[in-house]
Structure 1
Amino acid sequence: MAAITAAEQGLRQVVVLEATPEPLQKVRISGGGRCNVTHACWDPAELSSHYPRGSRPLRGPFSRFACGDAIAWFDEHGLTLVEEPDGRMFPQQNRSEAVIHCLQNAATAAGVQLRTKVMVQQVAAQTDGGFVVEGRGLEQPLKARKLMLATGGHPSGRQLAESLGHQVVPPVPSLFSLSLSTKTLAACSGIAIDDVNLDLKLGDQRFRQTGRVLITHRGLSGPATLRLSAFAARALHQSHYKGELKVDWSGGLGRQGVEQRLRQWRLDKARRTLIAANPFEHLPRRLWQAFLSSVALDVERRWADLPLKAERHLVDILCAQRLLIQGRGPFGEEFVTAGGVALGEVNLATMESRRCPGLYVAGELLDVDGVTGGFNFQACWSGGWLAGQAIAAVETAGARY
């Protein structure tokens, strides 16, 4: 985005150095191969619910280039975005390759030079301005008057930023699934439930989220779990990913509603079996069976014969099941990292470094991260557009590459 914007604003020589053979691989795999480009529901007052870190500083950048601007930008460059009921926006073609092709075509049309298989290993700031870039894949050092780092969560970017005088907030994983010590849900792998309430306790800290949860063979994932992990990222890291998670599966009924439903079923479905007459239509049969098994109930027992003690245990499980977290999802599964270049060291109006003039930083390399739903990509689009505009404004005013 930064390179395209700068080139479209009149810069004659814009070069992108990419370490991998193919650029935009994170775009390719995002959203299960669909790429959640941005989010339509964009209220500056609600940024704190979308960005665990960086919500307040981002108000400035988003006032200049936010969701609506990103939608218009992609539309102008030949990519139509379609809004889903929950506000997430995907390419009309419903595949990530469409976003990649859009960006690549825009870069080519603007005259951006892309050099792949170039791993930048060292950057030196020159006393008279500009930078000298060295790395694997470069036949000779590359000189540039302006330099932008947009290396995502890769450690190389943080190392380069530190070498240029920046303080880096130690990164920790964010947006990941939770592994549980219990095996009671293992048979329900693949089931997704809406309106699940998650309450995580870590020492004297508590984190809550409500939404869709996906049961996996290791534990829990899904949007609500990922959001929970994002807001609790540092606390989970400090606790070595151990803690107690309380889960409310009642779908908003609450304890009183669940108790009333079970009493009603005991009377109205007296001759039916527990497994045949599920009182909660939002709970799939496999999950309801798992709850029955967890309190040692014979699923063929009749409702009229349900012991009061077992009924109380069912209420506890449905409204406040306590699960022990034993770790996070597999290494590499996390979507983003919390941490990076400290925001106070960057002018967020231009994305230029306050420590190293001529250096620009954007994307996941900054200490900014959002929840799922297109918010992380939007921070990248906004930062890249601002950086491209700022670089072009300075360079076209008289400086040369």
Structure 2
Amino acid sequence: MCKIGIIGGGAAGFFAAIQCKLLNPETDVTILEKTSKVLAKVKISGGGRCNVTNVESDPVKLATKYPRGERQLKKAFRNFSTTDTIRFFEERGVPLVAQEDGCIFPVSQDSQSIIDCFLNECNRLNIEVKKNFRLDKIEQVSNGGFTLIAENANLFFDKVIICTGGAPKKSHLLWLEELNQPVIDPVPSLFTFNMPGNPITELQGSVVKHAITKIPGTKLTAEGPLLITHWGMSGPAILALSAWGARVLEEVGYEFKVTVNWTGIKNEEEIRTELKYCAEQNANKKLDKFGVFGLTQRLWSFLLDKFQVNKEKAWKELNKKEFNRLVNGLMNDEYPVSGKTTFKEEFVTAGGVDLSHVNVSNMESKIIPGLHFAGEILDIDGITGGFNFQAAWTTAYLAAKGAVS
């Protein structure tokens, strides 16, 4: 009987363990978790609702949502994609629902539904879960297999799947480097922008449905909803920038500027046309009494002050200089950023096991036969929208398939 050890009791670890048993019921599978709790990140993800995947099912389009790992995931998603994820959960009594933005959640809107599904499957399939197993070292056995050495036990497995999640520092990956498995320095991804002391933070809670954001001096740009918080800016238009710019922003110490196009329209002429139409239709109304481009009253009033446009004027009194200042401001509003904050309680990193040394078809190390990887331990990360979980499900499935073969 083949013994498979799964290191890490998170999303990828549980999914890999379950897939091992589904693909080959004769295997002996054990999940090894270093803490006293399993699936902790699943519990808090999506604000406690767990955004399990996304409606995007085309492998090529799906792969474009990953700043790191896009090329490898194009192939991987052909073997296990979002439709497979949906089928897995719904066949096990966890109905899912899609939101307008494409994010898919349990109908229950409770991450406990996903946790219960995994725990029930482990119980049904006779998968052992060992908690408080703090791995110190992995030793290869000369005639095949691995010995996992911990303070309280030494365990032997024929195959091992590493699902330990993202590491905040490279020092946390030294145990892999000791195996000569190349890793890429981890840096934070998916974080919000801090703007300490900036007056815009007084508008906390304001949401812009469609904004375009850019980092001046780079090619980094993103678009989507933007949220103003008490510490700065968040929302998909910011989080996507943080993901795509993870390494660039780390290099400048998270001290940079971000420009915001509040209109969500890239064409300046369209913005001018919209403002002219607004001025004609509301000629006698005061500027601050009628917002544009769906902006909230508070934000619109704030922007008028920032762009030095007299908001007590009527629209018909807006002169050419003020009109041009308004257009430019709405398109290229700039804010200094000083620091970052982790998005909610969800820690995502860029970096980890170097994909060039992993066989993507089965997630097996090209250096150490029998050692597989799944989830955020790999140098794979996605933007928000269920993409990080989908990468975990896909890589876990492929690792399991490779381990049982």
* Pairs within 5 Å for 1:217-256: 217-252=230-265, 254-256=267-269
Counterpart for residue 309 of structure 1: 321
In structure 1, which of residues 155, 168, 191 is the aligned counterpart of residue 183 of structure 2? 168
Match of residue 294, structure 1, among 296, 306, 313: 306
Pairwise mapping of residues 256-295 of structure 1 onto structure 2 (< 5 A)?
256-278=269-291, 280=292, 282-295=294-307
Indicate which of 336, 361, 366 corresponds to 1:354: 366
Report the counterpart of residue 338 of structure 1 in structure 2. 350
Residue of 191, 210, 215 corresponding to 2:228:
215
Check whether the contact 2:43–2:50 (CA below 8 A) recurs between aligned residues: yes
Q: Specify the alignment match of 2:7 in structure 1.
A: none
1:30 aligns with 2:45: yes
Q: Does 1:4 align with 2:18?
A: yes
Aligned residue identity for 1:163:
E
CA RMSD, 1 decimal? 2.2
1:16, distance to aligned residue in structure 2 (A):
0.7
Amino acid at match of 1:214: L
Tell me the TM-score normalized by structure 2: 0.89
Aligned: 1:180 with 2:195: yes
2:223·2:236 contact (CA, 8 Å) conserved in 1? no
Are 1:101 and 2:113 an aligned pair? no
Change in 2 beyond 3 A, CA 1:186/1:105: same
Paired with 2:307 and 2:25, the residues of 1 have a C-alpha distance of: 69
Range 321-330 or range 125-134, more displaced? 321-330
Would the aligned equivalents of 1:11 and 1:392 in 2 still touch at CA under 8 Å?
no
Deviations 1:330-357 (A, max 9, x none): 5985631000111121111111111111
- Measure, in 1, the Cα distance between the counterparts of 2:328 and 2:175: 52
TM-score normalised according to structure 1 size: 0.90
Distance, in Å, in 1 between the alignment partners of 2:196 and 2:317 is 32
| Residue 69 in structure 1 maps to residue 93 in structure 2 | no
- Percent identity between matched residues is 36
1:23-68 per-position Cα deviation (integer Å, ceiling 9, x unaligned): 1111111111111111121222224521111111112221111111
Secondary structure of 1:178's counterpart equals: strand
| Match for residue 366 of structure 1 among 378, 390, 401 | 378
Q: Per-residue displacement from partner, 1:255-307 (whole Å, max 9, x unpaired)? A: 333334444454543432222232x1500001001112213455434334445
SS at match of 1:384: helix
Amino acid at match of 1:344: S
Preserved contact between residue 12 and residue 111 of structure 1 (Cα < 8 Å): no
CA contact (8 A) 1:2 1:388 kept: yes
Distance 1:123 1:320, change over 3 A: same
Q: Is the 8 A contact 2:45 2:345 kept in 1?
A: no
Give the aligned residue type for 2:225.
R
Following TM superposition, by how much is the alpha carbon of 1:226 offset from its aligned partner in structure 2, in angstroms?
0.9
Cα pair distance change 1:259/1:12, threshold 3 Å: closer
Counterpart position of 1:323: 335
Letter in 1 for 2:159: K
Does residue 397 of structure 2 align to residue 382 of structure 1? no
8 Å contact kept, 1:181–1:323:
no
Matches of 2:36 and 2:346 in 1, distance apart?
A: 23
**Alignment match of 1:133 (pick from 148, 165, 183):** 148
Give the number of aligned pairs.
388
SS at match of 2:222: strand
Give the equivalent residue in structure 2 for 1:398.
none
Q: Distance in 1 between matches of 2:329 and 2:196?
A: 16
The whole-number CA distance in structure 2 between the counterparts of 1:78 and 1:273 is 56
Give the Cα–Cα distance (whole angstroms) in 2 for the partners of residues 242 and 128 of structure 1: 52
Q: Which amino acid aligns with 2:361?
A: A
The farther-off stretch of 343-352 and 235-244 is 235-244
Comparing 280-289 and 3-12, the one that deviates more: 3-12
Q: Give, in angstroms, the shift of residue 319 of structure 1.
A: 1.2
Q: State the 1:163 CA deviation.
A: 2.0
Could you tell me whether the CA contact under 8 Å between 2:200 and 2:228 is conserved in 1?
yes
State the one-letter code of the partner of 1:89.
I
Equivalent residue in structure 2 for 1:14, among 23, 29, 33 = 29
Question: Is the 1:297–1:310 Cα contact (8 Å) retained in structure 2?
Answer: yes
Asked whether the 8 Å contact 1:158–1:365 carries over to 2, the reply is no
CA distance in 2, matches of 1:256, 1:59: 38
Q: Match of 1:372, as an amino acid?
A: T
What is the DSSP-based 3-state SS (H/G/I as helix, E as strand, rest coil) of the residue aligned with 1:275? Answer: helix
Instruction: Please state how far the C-alpha of 1:78 moved relative to its aligned partner.
Output: 2.1
Check conservation: 2:177, 2:183, Cα contact below 8 A.
yes
